[in-house]
Structure 1
Amino acid sequence: MKETHKKTVLITGAAKRIGKAIALGMAADGWRVVVHYGASREEAECLVKLIRGNGGIAFKIHADLSKEEQVGLLIPSAVKIAGPISCLINNASLFEEDSAQTASRKSWDAHMQINLRSPFVLIQALCDQLPEGFEGNVINIVDQRVQNLTPHFLSYTVSKAGLWTLTQTLALSLAPSIRVNAIGPGPVLANFRQTEEEFIKQWSSIPLGRSVNPLEIVDAIRFIINAPSMTGQLIVLDGGQHLGYSQAPLSGGVIE
């Protein structure tokens, strides 16, 4: 009989924003949390201290997800410091603007490596170290736009659509020992291109007229982990943005 989960989770891009909320939520639920970071070392250290100060168990680990060799070492290194990993949350993401006219080989490859290739390599490594008899969980953070295609952010969109397809394919190939699901957020936090006013304009234009609270994503992760019959599914949390109605363009006429 399978254990439902051995409670150690690796979260990529966990030092801040959505990843930080996920890390805090998982730690509050009793998970040993491995906080992956790329450039945000100071934020990762502060988060680990916060979790430990609240009585949780947390570790930080660095890897540049744009470098294949570092991606390949990430889970083996995490296992050395935290023990076997039974839950992987692929949260780290590159989100840069390009289009059919402006996309370069560099931007294309960068998005594919960080948003698609690295999650796949990490999932392969998760499989290799998962103890026999334990159920694994993979949760990929994609984007509502995989159900709401636009001509904007071409390389990003294609990489996230690929990750959603990978989610479904691996749900089949890794069953029954590992379940693979996805979450597609809409507007959660303003990105670096947006002013606060532009972000408000964005979420005000979607059907529910509200932004997504990061804690909603944490709750969705809890649901997935505790729903043993669920695999190959996408939970979209976007206030109805994926329905594509009445979305306001932001500065430069670009819909984020």
Structure 2
Amino acid sequence: MTGQFPKTALITGAAKRIGRALSLDLARQGYDIALHCNSSKSDAETLAAEIRDLGRRACVVSADLTNEEDTHRLVADAVKQLGPIGVLINNASTFEFDDVGSATRDSWDLHMETNLRAPFVLSQQFARHLPDDCKGAILNLIDQRVWNLTPHFMTYTLSKAGLWTLTQTLSLALAPKIRVNAIGPGPALPSSRQTQEDFDAQCAKTPLKIGTNPQEICDAVRFFLAAPAITGQMLALDGGQHLDWAPSGEEDKPVE
């Protein structure tokens, strides 16, 4: 294990959607998985059973990431059950609409706590619990929009822009022991506000006329884990959406 990752990953928001795909993919690569969930414990337990069927260890660790005490103990809970954690994936995210007129202190706190404060606290705890003779990696799931700022989804965008800054500053603060990188997806799965038609229209507005998908995000995670010379980077998986190439007329804008 000396100088290498412990092959155990803690993934936040692991029970569904992209988090579920990441958990299964890393398990197939030989990782044991600590599955974080909040309200989706039944889904997380089902996923843990699937991972065990693949021959890997898995545990479920519950925490409300808007609660400082819950967040602070999450890494220790995972280490207690699975041993040293070598990979932290900050995948959990809150994505609610507000704008400059409708944003409130509550919407600010909701996005900042889950999308920025929690990844910072978890990264601190991850670094503190990583054995002295081991390397580690942190991967933050951000959003291509931090390279293509708009006034929409105001406090969400601010929280993700902060997470991109955190990725870069942590990559310096934790080097050379821990590498810190990010993935900035564009449209990957329909949101709760979108129909499939809305989602398809959003993908069609990118330069490549496609979005991304969970497997492509899994492939990017594998790449970052296998690339020892990369830190402080974000890979935008977005069909070129961050280039803001799409027509800008209001009637052309997708829902998200």
Identity percentage over the alignment?
Answer: 53
> How far, CA to CA, are the matches of 2:4 and 2:79 in structure 1?
19
> How far, CA to CA, are the matches of 1:218 and 1:250 in structure 2?
34
Contact 1:84–1:129 at 8 Å: present in 2 too? yes
**C-alpha distance 105-51 of structure 1, shift in aligned 2 (>3 A):** same
CA deviations on 1:162-205 (whole Å, 9 max, x unpaired) are: 00000000100110011100000000000000011111111011
Counting only pairs closer than 5 Å after superposition, residues 163-178 of structure 1 correspond to structure 2 as 163-178=163-178
> How far, CA to CA, are the matches of 1:76 and 1:106 in structure 2?
29
TM-score, scaled to structure 1:
0.96
| Offset at residue 51 of structure 1 (A) | 1.1
Secondary structure of residue in 2 paired with 1:131: coil
Counting only pairs closer than 5 Å after superposition, residues 7-22 of structure 1 correspond to structure 2 as 7-22=7-22
Partner in structure 2 of residue 82 of structure 1: 82
| Offset at residue 54 of structure 1 (A) | 2.1
CA deviations on 1:8-53 (whole Å, 9 max, x unpaired) are: 1000001010001100110000001011011111110111111111
Counting only pairs closer than 5 Å after superposition, residues 1-256 of structure 1 correspond to structure 2 as 2-246=2-246, 255-256=255-256
> How far, CA to CA, are the matches of 2:118 and 2:130 in structure 1?
18
Please report the RMSD computed on the Cα atoms of aligned residues, expressed in angstroms. 1.8
Q: Note the residue ranges of structure 1 that are not aligned, 5 or more in a row.
A: none
CA deviations on 1:108-137 (whole Å, 9 max, x unpaired) are: 011000000000000000111100110010
Contact 2:194–2:255 at 8 Å: present in 1 too? no
Q: Note the residue ranges of structure 2 that are not aligned, 5 or more in a row.
A: none
Secondary structure of residue in 2 paired with 1:35: strand
| Offset at residue 209 of structure 1 (A) | 1.1
> How far, CA to CA, are the matches of 1:171 and 1:3 in structure 2?
17
| Offset at residue 250 of structure 1 (A) | 9.3
> How far, CA to CA, are the matches of 1:97 and 1:122 in structure 2?
25
Instruction: Write out the 4+ residue segments of structure 1 that deviate beyond 4 Å after TM superposition.
Output: 247-251
How many residues were matched structurally? 256
**C-alpha distance 249-118 of structure 1, shift in aligned 2 (>3 A):** farther
**C-alpha distance 195-255 of structure 1, shift in aligned 2 (>3 A):** closer
